[in-house]
Amino acid sequence: MRKILLAAVDRNLAIGRNGALLYRVPEDLRRFRQLTTGQVVLCGRKTLESFPNGKPLPGRETVLLSRRYEGKDEPLLTVARTPEEALEKAAVLCGNEKNLYVIGGESVYRLFAPVCETADLTEIDAETPDADAFFPALREQDGWVRAEASPEQVSSSGLRFRYVTYQKERV
């Protein structure tokens, strides 16, 4: 099971404000759907609540890390109370064929960055001064290197962005 952080960040690594994404980049949303469909995603309760109707996204198994979630396991949703339990349940769901995409929020990214091998980021050329959720600064952490970057693109929404992959160096 490959463990991959997946996020859209602004210049300051901001990812959200008041429980919502900062920017709408249709191309990034299509890429997110393409990468995660048929795979396993791991998120926290607030991220799950931000999905349509607060339900798991279709076509993906979702591992929810939450001590406070009151609902039950349901189709496409598996609840874990600890990070260790989340990884155990994800490993069962992924088997040898699927990737695990860690998709937020801030505390979930911080918990799982040390155990992930890859971070696929959409870097948006914008700033949100009142953002209240941030992605970990991988460039400042030991072992993470920028492996590749796409050319800068302009979204149909007018925002400039690029896809950047970070890899954890093998020691």
Q: What is the average pLDDT across 59-85?
A: 89
pLDDT score recorded for residue 66: 94
- Report which of 95, 87, 15 is spatially closest to residue 47, judged by C-alpha positions: 15
Nearby residues of 108 by Cβ (< 8 Å), 6 or more positions away: 42, 43, 44, 47, 65, 102
Range scoring the smallest mean pLDDT among 59-63, 90-94, 132-136, 142-146:
142-146
Question: Could you tell me the pLDDT band of residue 171, with boundaries at 50, 70 and 90?
Answer: low
Indicate if the pLDDT at residue 69 is higher than 60.
Answer: yes
pTM attached to this predicted model: 0.94
So what's the pLDDT on residue 73? Answer: 66
pLDDT band at 6 (very low <50, low <70, confident <90, very high): very high
The CATH number of 3-168, from 3.40.1440.10, 3.30.465.10, 3.40.430.10, 3.40.640.10, is 3.40.430.10
Tell me the mean pLDDT in the region 40-69.
93
Mean pLDDT taken over the chain: 93
Place of tokens 């007018």: 158
pLDDT at 68 over 90: no
Strand segments (E) across the chain: 3-9, 14-17, 20-21, 40-44, 61-65, 77-80, 100-102, 118-124, 133-134, 144-149, 153-154, 160-168
